[in-house]
Each structure stands twice: as structure tokens, then as C-alpha cells.
Chains A and B, each alone.
Chain A
């Protein structure tokens, strides 16, 4: 219902708000399906970062959606056919949680039965993400890095001369907001660190932690004036940090190669294989967290520093 409203409204600002609400409901749905890590990431990214970025880009373009010029019937036909095909395929798929489904037959029982023993951490999601499917996560990290790279190449970080740094947003003296944010910021960063390192046991991990960390800095920038975060964390640092994040991840893999085992085989990291797994997951999640943090903050810088297009 919210999606329908989001499509029908032509006031793009209201659409952004509705998207935030929609992402929130999706996160609640994920919680209900017992997928806590996914809900976490969905809430962090969808309701936080995406809303801020969409608002920044909205600020650059028009507020109201232009009417479509071409005949929408063809698009409707394409979407309708694809949608029908998808629904038809879904009808054939095994039910949710069906134990005889193929996805539950081969690899999954091994993960569930031996995951805790082999990797040594209670949170199976992180174990699968960082250890069993480490290549996959490496690919995701590189994709995030590439996205940051693309934004840097396409947009770059410009300073709009019309927006004087230090000038603030909400009119007048913002004492209340600033004092509260000053107290909150260290707590936010601390929470980010908690999520990063607690990913072994509860919901969490590198992706969520990176986003939370970046959100702290975004909040600082929003409240203390345009460009204030840039003074604290210059874009040059972030470029290097993003690369370092990916390098840490790749470095762990290469180290395992040099130690004689397969790429990203964590048992090469320590004498006891379970210890090696722990260490490997820790380092790898750290790399992911650093990379995500720098890329999100870079994208925010790129979007927020631009002035209004004429």
C-alpha cells in the first residue's frame, strides 16, 4: 500500500519520506522472518543513509516529478509479463522453511551442524558470511568500493562557493540541537564499535557497523554546518581508508595463500584452526567495516557539497 502511494505521489519529497517508512516496515518484516542481521542492515541503510542521500540529490533537482512523455503502455506490458512470470515461478518454489527444499539439503545442514564447531562463533550468519562464503563477501566489499570509486569519478567532491562552511541549517541559534548532538556523537561511534565486534554473537558485523559509524559523522555534518565533517575527516583520508579496507580483506586472503593454503582459508592464520577462524573473521569484518564507512561518507560528501542546479 505504501509502495502504491509512493508511486502515485508526484511530490518527490513525500515519496522520500514514504520510502523511509517502507524500508522500516520491510525491516520489521525481516525481523518477523527471524532474519535479524538483514533487518539490521535494512534499517541502517534503507531508513538512514538512503533517506539522507535521496534528500541530498532531491535538493539538486526538481521537487516535483515531471510527467512521463512516452506512452506508458509498453512499459506496463513488459512489467506485467515479467511480474506474471515471477509469480508463476514463485508458485512452483518450495514453501518457506520446507525441510525437503533443495536449498536445505546439501550445504545448509553442514553449516548448521558443524558451523559452531568449525568456526567457533554462535552467530551462524556471520560465520557463513565471513568464513564459509568469504569470497562472496569479498566481492561485495569490492563492489562497494567500486561504487565509491564511480561516485568519485563521476561527481567528485566540490565545494559550492555559495554555501559558506560553518553556516548552519535550522535558523537561528541551535544551542539545543548542538549540545545534544555533542553528547550523542561519542555514544553513536561507541555503538558502531559494539556492533562491529559483537557480530560474532548477536546481530551485527562489518556492514552495519560501517553504516552506523558513517551516520555519526553525517549527523555531525548536518547539525554543525555544511563542510564541518569535511574539516574533521578530509576526503583524502577517506580515499585511502576505503582502499585500506579492501586491502585488509584481500590481504588476509593473500596471507593464507603465502602460508600454503587456499585463498581466504583462515586456518592458516594461527596454529589452532578455530583460533584462526576467529582471527580471520575479525580481520575480514574490520576490513568490511572500514571500507563501508569510508565509501558511505565519501558519497555523502559528494552529494551534499553541491549547490542547487539552475
Chain B
């Protein structure tokens, strides 16, 4: 059952990856990357237990954190672009 769960996670990661490639807007890519990150946390936790990796939970915890920080950073980037464009040229605001 553990292997089945790991396979399910891998499939989901592939699906999220496809969305990262084809997502028409950047928001889609951001969402898909965040999703990919969360799945990776699960993958490391489950596969680490199954394959007896060393200190795998530390890495999983770290990555859960970094995924969050990365997503927030991406959103900040968008806002800067929009906010600065608005301020420089009010008509060009989205």
C-alpha cells in the first residue's frame, strides 16, 4: 500500500508538472509549482521511510517550509510588477 501511495504521488507530480508547462497564465504555473512542492514533501516523507533514507524527515520539513516561502515570493513579484506599472503609468494597470 505504501508503494501504491508513492506511485499515486508520482502521478500527481507529473500532472502538476504538465500544468507548469502548459499553464496559460503565470498564475497557473505558480499554482502548479506550489502543488508540485507539496507533493515532493510527501514523496520524500513516504519514500524516505520505505527506502530507509537517512534524516529524510528533516529534508521534508525543510522543503515544506521552502515551498511556502517560494510561493509567497512569487506572489510578491507579481504585485511589484503590477503596483509599479500602475504607479508609473496608470492606464497600463491590468
Instruction: Tell me whether B54 and A203 are in contact (CB under 8 A).
Output: yes
How far apart are the CA atoms of A44 and B66 in the complex, in Å? 7
Of all chain B residues, the one with the shortest Cβ separation from A39 is B59
B84 within 8 A of A: yes
Q: Which of B4-45 contact A (CB under 8 A)?
A: 17, 20-21, 26, 29-30, 33, 36-37, 40, 43-44
B2 within 8 A of A: no
Instruction: Tell me whether A31 and B53 are in contact (CB under 8 A).
Output: yes
Of all chain B residues, the one with the shortest Cβ separation from A18 is B20
B-side interface mostly: helix
How far apart are the CA atoms of A92 and B75 in the complex, in Å? 47
With a cutoff of 8 Å between Cβ atoms, the chain B residues found around residue A58 in the complex are: 77
Nearest CB in chain A: distance from B8 CB, A: 17
* A21 in contact with B20 given A40-B62, A47-B70 (CB within 8 Å): yes
Chain A CB within 10 Å, residue with most, of B51, B56, B80: B80
How many residues on chain A are close to B (CB under 8 Å)? 50
Instruction: Tell me whether A222 and B61 are in contact (CB under 8 A).
Output: no
With a cutoff of 8 Å between Cβ atoms, the chain B residues found around residue A191 in the complex are: 61-62, 65
How far apart are the CA atoms of A28 and B79 in the complex, in Å? 32
Instruction: Tell me whether A47 and B63 are in contact (CB under 8 A).
Output: yes
With a cutoff of 8 Å between Cβ atoms, the chain B residues found around residue A222 in the complex are: 69, 72-73, 76
Instruction: Tell me whether B26 and A13 are in contact (CB under 8 A).
Output: yes
How far apart are the CA atoms of A223 and B72 in the complex, in Å? 8
Instruction: Tell me whether B44 and A169 are in contact (CB under 8 A).
Output: no
A202 within 8 A of B: yes
Q: Which of B58-94 contact A (CB under 8 A)?
A: 58-59, 61-63, 65-70, 72-77, 79-81, 83-84, 87-88
Q: Which of A191-227 contact B (CB under 8 A)?
A: 191, 195, 202-204, 208, 212, 215, 218-219, 222-223
With a cutoff of 8 Å between Cβ atoms, the chain B residues found around residue A162 in the complex are: 84, 87
With a cutoff of 8 Å between Cβ atoms, the chain B residues found around residue A291 in the complex are: none
* A215 in contact with B59 given A13-B26, A28-B43 (CB within 8 Å): no
Nearest CB in chain A: distance from B45 CB, A: 11
Instruction: Tell me whether A212 and B62 are in contact (CB under 8 A).
Output: yes
* A52 in contact with B69 given A17-B29, A31-B48, A170-B79 (CB within 8 Å): yes
B55 within 8 A of A: yes
Q: Which of A21, A55, A59, A204 contacts B58 (CB 8 A)?
A: A204
How far apart are the CA atoms of A308 and B30 in the complex, in Å? 22
Residues of B within 8 A of A (CB): 17, 20-21, 26, 29-30, 33, 36-37, 40, 43-44, 48, 51, 53-56, 58-59, 61-63, 65-70, 72-77, 79-81, 83-84, 87-88
Residues of A within 8 A of B (CB): 2, 5, 11, 13-14, 17-18, 20-21, 24, 27-28, 31-32, 34, 36, 39-40, 43-44, 47-48, 51-52, 55-56, 58-59, 162-163, 167, 169-171, 177, 188, 191, 195, 202-204, 208, 212, 215, 218-219, 222-223, 307-308
Per CB-CB distance, the 3 closest pairs between chain A and chain B, nearest first, are A203-B55, A48-B66, A169-B79
